[in-house]
Amino acid sequence: MKSSIRGHYLAWLLLAPTIAIMVAFMGYPMLKTIFLSSQLTDLAGNPIKFVGFENFIHLLKADSFQTSLMVTLIFVCFTTILTIVIAYGLALLTKDKFLGIDIFRTLISSTMGVSVTVASILWLFIFNPQSGLFSISLKTLHLSPINWLSDPLWSLIAIIGTTTWMNLGFAYLILLGSLQSIPDDLYRVANLHGASWWLTLRKITLPATKPTVFFVSVVTLINAFQTFGQVDILTAGGPDFHTNLMVYAIYQDAFVNHNVGRASAQSIVLTFIIMIVTLIQFWWRQKRQGRSK
């Protein structure tokens, strides 16, 4: 009994550092951001006047925010779908065990260790109009050059491509793990019945990996909403705000245009979106666990 009484104090002692950091650097800033989103702020970021929801109303009416929101949604959807499809394909291809396969698996998952800065600079060269890889390839094929990073449509595609590439390693590794946990017997039975590759994929593989696909999609989706570095290095939000993703817009408003009220309002919108996505995932997981019990 003694241990549980001491345990009581010990528990709070052990939790103290975590709680202190979370309150100081997550809880307090979150409340402050909510407060700032209701304020008119001066150039130094100090609140001047309570304006209620006016920041939000201005935001929703502003063309720049509408563009930013729309581009963000397009970006997030395409990035997530592409990441899942390509990573799943690679995982399917490398799921069988044979000599040397581990090397391929490690190599494919290596983009997991690549930072935003590194990925963006590598792709910046590939998209570079003078000597970049794509420009030279197009030239060799006698096709007209594309202004990858200064054309409204292509620049978004470039950001989607770079982000998808960066995400591949993690998504691949998780999906591979899920594919490998499917019991071999299932495939053996399917083989005995002469099921085709396509049928096996549709009836065994896809259903068995569905929870993992869902999990990876949510993680990729949330990460995509928080995209910043790629935009900062590749396009700086341009041309004409066509790659002005939400977090980049927040950063610009907060640290370049010094409009803290507006930046805070956008931050709250972002928080809401991410909370909703997370809650959907949580709810879905609970439902699944409830069913399997």
263: its two tokens: 């930046």
Give residues 61-120 in contact with other proteins (rule: CB under 8 A): 89-90, 93-94, 96, 98, 101-102, 104-119
Q: Are 77 and 162 in contact (CB under 8 A)?
A: no
Name the residue nearer to other proteins (CB basis): 106 or 286: 106
Task: Write down the least CB distance from residue 183 to other proteins, Å.
Answer: 16
Task: Write down the least CB distance from residue 186 to other proteins, Å.
Answer: 19
46: its two tokens: 């100090």
Region class of 195: left (phi > 0), else alpha (psi between -120 and 50), else beta: beta
Give residues 153-192 in contact with other proteins (rule: CB under 8 A): 165, 168-170, 173-174, 176-178, 181
Task: Write down the least CB distance from residue 255 to other proteins, Å.
Answer: 6
Name the residue nearer to other proteins (CB basis): 17 or 52: 17
Name the residue nearer to other proteins (CB basis): 130 or 196: 130
11 binds other proteins (CB under 8 A): yes
Task: Write down the least CB distance from residue 42 to other proteins, Å.
Answer: 13
* Contact stretch for other proteins (CB under 8 A) within 5-13, 59-67, 69-77, 149-157: 5-13
CA distances from 255 to 47, 153, 250, 264 (A): 16, 27, 8, 12
Task: Write down the least CB distance from residue 68 to other proteins, Å.
Answer: 13
Task: Write down the least CB distance from residue 72 to other proteins, Å.
Answer: 12
Q: Are 179 and 185 in contact (CB under 8 A)?
A: no
Q: Are 255 and 183 in contact (CB under 8 A)?
A: no
194 binds other proteins (CB under 8 A): no
245 binds other proteins (CB under 8 A): no
Give residues 115-154 in contact with other proteins (rule: CB under 8 A): 115-119, 121-126, 130-131, 133, 136
Q: Are 94 and 108 in contact (CB under 8 A)?
A: yes
If binding means CB under 8 A, how many residues of this protein chain bind other proteins? 94
In which residue are the tokens 């970006």 written? Answer: 75
**Which phi and psi angles does 94 have, rounded to 5°?**
-110, 15
Q: Which of residues 73, 157, 195, 233 is near other proteins by CB under 8 A?
A: 233
Task: Write down the least CB distance from residue 78 to other proteins, Å.
Answer: 18
- Binding characters for other proteins, 25-64, by CB under 8 A (x = yes): xxxxxx-xx--x--------x-------------------
Give residues 260-289 in contact with other proteins (rule: CB under 8 A): 260, 263-264, 267-268, 270-271, 274-275, 278-279
The SS3 of residue 39 is: strand
Task: Write down the least CB distance from residue 177 to other proteins, Å.
Answer: 3
* Ordered alpha helix ranges (H), the chain: 2-22, 28-36, 54-61, 63-93, 101-109, 116-127, 133-140, 152-180, 184-192, 197-200, 206-225, 229-234, 246-251, 260-292
Q: Are 94 and 101 in contact (CB under 8 A)?
A: yes
* Dist. CA 90–CA 101, nearest whole Å: 12
